[in-house]
Structure 1
Amino acid sequence: MTSPAAPGRRVPEAVHRRRWAILGVLMLSLLIVVLDNSILNVAIKTISTPAPTGLGATQSELEWAINSYTLVFAGLLFSAGLLGDRLGRKKVLVGGLVVFGTGSALAAFSGTPAELIGFRAVMGLGAAFVMPATLAVLMNVFERDEQPKAIGIWAGGVGLAIAIGPITGGLLLEHFWWGSVFLVNVPIVVLAIGLMLWLVPDSRDPAPGRIDPLGVVLSVTGLVLLVYGIIKGGQLADFGDPVVLGAIGGGLAVLAAFVIVEKRSDHPSIDMDHFRNKVFSAAIAAIALVFFALMGVTFFAVFYVQSVRGYSPLETGLLMIPLAAAQMVFAPRARLLVDRFGNKATTTAGLLLLAGMLAAFAALDSDTPIWILEVVFFLMGAGMAHVMTPVSVVIMQALPREKAGSASALSNTFRQVGGALGVAVLGSVLSTAYRGSVRDELGVLPPGARHAAGESIEATLAVAERLGPRADALAAAADDAFLHAMHVTALWGAGVAVLGAVVVAVFLPGRTPDPGDTETEERLVSAAESADG
């Protein structure tokens, strides 16, 4: 029905008539941003293969290929949203798509892992301008009474992208070279830009906020230093190395400076006062920890499925369907459990289920029936759904209604940061445990080749191919060492999920607001954006 508060439509009639077509264009624009990370998951093993099949990327370089995108995206999200408010959302959206498409084309033809890392950062820059602008345009072209339905469809499209990404990546790798997983973005970008120029109206905030360039520089610099130190420590298997300690210490110092600057700024990127609310802080921490665990597990699961079990990229994508399907099935229904048991119980149970499934990876072996992995993936997705949906609602409820946009942006930012740290920390645990387990088996190699061969299972297998009769023995040792490292890493991830369960059990509210509370219900309109992951 039409809002009784408005004598007529807030949205011009011409725009109103094509609002659903505009929603389709916005979903197409967001599709490639979400698709890119999920499509890359099945390609990382191929990219680690020596040329000409891949780039011969080491495990640390693969971690950077994922995190260069994520860190730039997270660091610029707030500023990109403000620029859209100031310059016009349509202009910023089109510009972001152009940058993203250019970065995708360059990444597809990267000649070295370093080039891929750099071009992935360019893609993250473009993505940072796409995501906030899509929701802002959506809110501008739909009347209030239709916004919940439109946001629900928008979030459902994001869930679909997460599901089809690995399958699309697998199909591309089945028929084309590894760069096709990036090049596929280009025609989608061209189509989205054409439709956007034709259909989408421009809009801007009459009173936009101010950009915080110092905050952006400090946050990105601090995160990059911290992640560099963590990844380097795993690469060297020595977290006491002066370079490692210097990078981690420097990163923490810069992030501490960022907090101080933000507290004193009259136009901060992140309002630190939000974190005085313990409920808000706990909910944000839960989102970060969920994606910490998810991204780290996805990273090692791909190598388990492809390197140890011998499945193709397409088969790997198909095996990951239960993870996305469970999220799509249970996320819209999680509110039923919240209504009955409350946020605290539902979210704590979801995190404990996630922790249990992460621990289950410690029981997987080279001949474990594959249906067991499918069950683990499905239950992981179910656990995530029962964390993300209630926690996203809690975040929107914890702050005043006028801060809904800031709350949603913070949720997205911490989700990306949590994922980046998950890849860095759990990737380093995996690398360190693997190197320690396979070290004795590398004695057959020249001393200068042992360090590089011991960084990852792919590096060891690449060396084994050149050993002739001794190849099978070294490959078997590599499988055993990887399984041991995966078991250790999975237990670390499970520990992080348990920590998240403790945090939400202590700080989250146990009961939901009265469903008849109109103001609260209006506030929840924005929660869907945070629940799309």
Structure 2
Amino acid sequence: MKHPGGHPDRWKILAILCLSLVLIGLDTLILNLALPSIQTDLDASSSQLQWTVDSYALAFGGLLLMAGGLSDRFGRRRLLALGLTAFALTSLGAAFANSPELLITFRALMGISAALMMPATLAIIKDVFPLEEQGKAIGIWSGAAAVGVPLGPLVSGLLLEHFWWGSLFLINVPLAAVALVGAAKLIPESRAENHPGLDLVGALLSVAGLVAIVYGLVEAPHNGWADPVTLASLTLGLALMAAFVAWERHTSKPMITIGLFLNSRYGGGALAIACTSFGLYSGLYLLTQYLQSVLELDPLGAGLRMLAIGTMMIGAPLSPRLVERLGLKATVVVGLVLCSAGLGVLAGLGVDDQTQALVGLAVFGLGMGIALPAAVDAILVVSAARQAGAGSAVADVGMQVGGALGIAVSGSLIVTLYRSELPAADQLPAGVGDTVRESLAGATAVAEQTGGATGQRLLETAQQAFVSGFAATLTVAAAVAAIGAIVSAFVLPRTRLDPDEDGPEPGEPHRETAETATGS
């Protein structure tokens, strides 16, 4: 039952949703510090390491739209509970994986489980909170995401000090159990009335297209950018995404109404989220390697330094206040400019610039905390009540697809640039040239085995090559955030709501998108 003034237990419900969100965010980056250990224990290649990270983000992002539709059709609490249960079970599988292929598989299954959870969290917020409180609730929601991001590397560092890398996944089980019990007791079931049905064709096209694109980007450094497999994969992916758009425009029951993106708040908010997420995943994917392999910190030391990005927890509660004072456009633009500036600071890192790394992380975190809640709220404001799950999924897709592409692009660029800065394989110590050129972690292992002055020179050469590629790659990420700020300045409207309206009545679609959201 919809409560006009909001559900009486809405703040307790928000706490449960935030716990679920922390669980998802925790697992997004918790694996990064363990990559060297996984590479050693499972004999994983550089490409396989990227896929252990990318498979989670890609499955998550690729299935979010379908999961949002499922939550609207079958019930948001039901999908949240199903996702939490599956997340716990697949985490157990990942913890005891004994091969890179098996770990990648379970990580993908965890991504699918997270996709079932994520749209439900925002849709439930829209259902239990009145419009005037949604901005504050989404600020807290974003703060929970901010907690999960820096906690991932920190928890990873703590566990890796005492246990094996599989322990990183076991922590998910009790957290999921607590959230599951709380959801069953407090969260009311909600679903869309007269749901038109599920768009399975659209879901398959979007998943296939994104997989093909990211596969081409991840494998390009190994196959070559001009390799037929790389070109075919990228071309196929773009063609499938074009087919997805065409299908969504003409089907009678679209997964998401494409015309909705013409709404300035909806489309502009999605773009801002994607640009922010691209920078986040690019920066943190590379920075974890920098802290461990260049600054030579242990996992716990690296995890503690990643807490600098916790300034997101300062920016997130500020965001709704800034929207009230400065307006939607100004808030998002300021946040994205700070994101770009933080990435620019990181791009200037040398071989031993620990303080600068912390400053760059802190500036980026503050910018993300400001931009993200405002952009998410803009999407929810114009989402029809009966498509709350699908509308929420658009915000989540922007985050996860932007992140997956960020990792793919940054991973591909760093490998290509790292190799270009190294001497040719035949000029490196005999028998180890390929290992050194595979990754900085490989070069570090070879340097330790070689020892002496020769090993030290090899390590310094590899570190300098990585830092050169690191700078160029993060310059690209900073440019993406800057472009997002520029486009947002032109696309987003000044205010959260039109000046002549008070917003939708509880349970009713927003006035300016009522027809579009219903597909008419």
TM-score range for the pair, normalised by the shorter chain length: 0.7 to 0.9
Q: Per-residue displacement from partner, 1:370-390 (whole Å, max 9, x unpaired)?
A: 222222111111222332233
Report the residue type matching 1:344 in the other structure: K
Against the structure 1 CA distance between its residues 446 and 265, is the aligned structure 2 distance closer, same or farther, given a 3 Å change threshold?
A: farther
1: CA distance between counterparts of 2:170 and 2:509?
35
Report whether the alignment pairs 1:221 with 2:208. yes
2:485 counterpart (485, 489, 501): 501
> What is the TM-score when the length of structure 1 is the normalising length?
0.86
1: CA distance between counterparts of 2:103 and 2:55?
10
Q: Does the 8 Å contact 1:32/1:188 carry over to 2? A: yes
Deviation at 1:441, TM superposition (A): 6.5
> What is the TM-score when the length of structure 2 is the normalising length?
0.88
1: CA distance between counterparts of 2:374 and 2:296?
38
2: CA distance between counterparts of 1:21 and 1:501?
35
Q: Does the 8 Å contact 1:351/1:500 carry over to 2? A: yes
Report the residue type matching 1:375 in the other structure: V
Deviation at 1:141, TM superposition (A): 5.8
Q: Which moved more, 1:59-68 or 1:171-180?
A: 59-68
Aligned partner of residue 164 in structure 2, secondary structure: coil
1:463 counterpart (446, 461, 468): 446
Quote the sequence identity (%): 39
Q: Does the 8 Å contact 2:123/2:388 carry over to 1? A: no
Deviation at 1:522, TM superposition (A): 7.2
Against the structure 1 CA distance between its residues 510 and 360, is the aligned structure 2 distance closer, same or farther, given a 3 Å change threshold?
A: same
1:106 counterpart (93, 115, 131): 93
Counterparts of 1:276-315 in structure 2 under 5 Å? Answer: 276-278=262-264, 280-315=266-301
Q: Does the 8 Å contact 2:143/2:317 carry over to 1? A: no
Against the structure 1 CA distance between its residues 28 and 136, is the aligned structure 2 distance closer, same or farther, given a 3 Å change threshold?
A: same
Deviation at 1:203, TM superposition (A): 4.4
2:219 counterpart (232, 235, 244): 232
Deviation at 1:481, TM superposition (A): 0.8
Against the structure 1 CA distance between its residues 164 and 44, is the aligned structure 2 distance closer, same or farther, given a 3 Å change threshold?
A: same
Aligned partner of residue 422 in structure 2, secondary structure: helix
Deviation at 1:333, TM superposition (A): 1.6
Deviation at 1:350, TM superposition (A): 2.8
Report whether the alignment pairs 1:348 with 2:345. no
Against the structure 1 CA distance between its residues 211 and 356, is the aligned structure 2 distance closer, same or farther, given a 3 Å change threshold?
A: same
1:33 counterpart (4, 17, 24): 24
Deviation at 1:95, TM superposition (A): 2.2
1: CA distance between counterparts of 2:504 and 2:303?
39
Against the structure 1 CA distance between its residues 389 and 192, is the aligned structure 2 distance closer, same or farther, given a 3 Å change threshold?
A: closer
Report the equivalent of 1:439.
Answer: 423
Q: Per-residue displacement from partner, 1:303-359 (whole Å, max 9, x unpaired)?
A: 1111110112222222122212x2111222234444444433443333233222222
Q: Does the 8 Å contact 1:73/1:124 carry over to 2? A: yes
Deviation at 1:468, TM superposition (A): 4.5
2: CA distance between counterparts of 1:83 and 1:400?
16
Deviation at 1:437, TM superposition (A): 0.8
Q: Which moved more, 1:189-198 or 1:497-506?
A: 189-198
1: CA distance between counterparts of 2:312 and 2:227?
41
Against the structure 1 CA distance between its residues 411 and 389, is the aligned structure 2 distance closer, same or farther, given a 3 Å change threshold?
A: same
Report the residue type matching 1:75 in the other structure: G
Report whether the alignment pairs 1:359 with 2:350. no
2: CA distance between counterparts of 1:289 and 1:411?
12
1: CA distance between counterparts of 2:45 and 2:505?
49
Report the equivalent of 2:112.
Answer: 125
2: CA distance between counterparts of 1:523 and 1:475?
61
Report the equivalent of 1:272.
Answer: 258
Report the residue type matching 2:502 in the other structure: T
Against the structure 1 CA distance between its residues 340 and 133, is the aligned structure 2 distance closer, same or farther, given a 3 Å change threshold?
A: closer
Report the equivalent of 1:333.
Answer: 318
Deviation at 1:249, TM superposition (A): 0.9
2: CA distance between counterparts of 1:292 and 1:524?
33
1:260 counterpart (229, 246, 265): 246
Counterparts of 1:502-521 in structure 2 under 5 Å? Answer: 502-511=486-495, 513=497, 517-519=501-503
Q: Does the 8 Å contact 1:282/1:504 carry over to 2? A: yes
Aligned partner of residue 296 in structure 2, secondary structure: coil
Number of aligned positions between the proteins: 508
Q: Does the 8 Å contact 1:351/1:501 carry over to 2? A: yes
2:406 counterpart (419, 422, 425): 422
Deviation at 1:514, TM superposition (A): 6.9
Report whether the alignment pairs 1:42 with 2:27. no
